[in-house]
Amino acid sequence: MLFALFTWQVATGGPLRRLDERAGRALADGPRPRGLAELLADLGNMAVAVPVLVLAAAYTAWRTSRTNAAGGRAPRTDPAPWWPPPLAAVVTMMAVPVLVIPLKLAVNRTGPPGMEGNGYYPSGHTATAAVAYGAATLLLLPHLTRPTTRRTLILTCALLNLGVGYGLIHRGYHWPLDVLASWCLSGILLLVMAVSTARYGRGSAGTGAPQPK
């Protein structure tokens, strides 16, 4: 609903878009650590975010295969196939440009002052970071046993994405609504991934022993 509201306001030039652009100018023109903001914005580059997801997918596949091999001879077990979660993560990542690029063309939003051309809504860097780091987190969580480790991973993912949004807005690369809309869109994609792979994550945490039927 939020994504639909943001898109409608940006596309029609509604009051929320005018408020967004005033806020964007104020945030971009204020004092900020340029070096840090630039570094954080770069975390949304595909060359940075996608390899993180690839490593998480490879680790998940290896860990699941190892668990299956270790418990394959145990009676009354149903080893989870190694490929569905990594495949779902890759498909979710591929869905980002498929969805974002047509939206950019359809909305055709101009960028903040100093940025050339159109097509800034929604933010591709934000969506890339949110889906890559979010999907990596979803892949790794079932393999973590300690609650503190799980919480640390979730917090790290959240801070990374907040940092990317901060960098993009404070460096003047995107308006705030560009970032917020991408978070909404990414949340939808990650929810679909989580639901579609939920059954494959059961029993993979802890010692790695398969659970009985």
Q: Is residue 13, in this structure, part of any structural domain at all? A: no
Domain membership of residue 188 as a residue range: 2-6+34-71+80-201
| CA-to-CA dists, residue 90 to 50, 53, 57, angstroms | 9, 8, 8
Helices 124-140 and 84-107: crossing angle, nearest 10°? Answer: 160
Q: Is residue 112, in this structure, part of any structural domain at all? A: yes
Q: Is residue 190, in this structure, part of any structural domain at all? A: yes
Distance CA 100, CA 152 (A): 30
**85-111 pLDDT per residue, tens:** 999 999 999 999 999 999 999 999 999
Q: Is residue 19, in this structure, part of any structural domain at all? A: no
Which pLDDT belongs to residue 102?
Answer: 97
Number of domains observed in the structure of the chain:
1
Which of 59-63, 65-69, 157-161 has the highest mean predicted lDDT (pLDDT)? 157-161
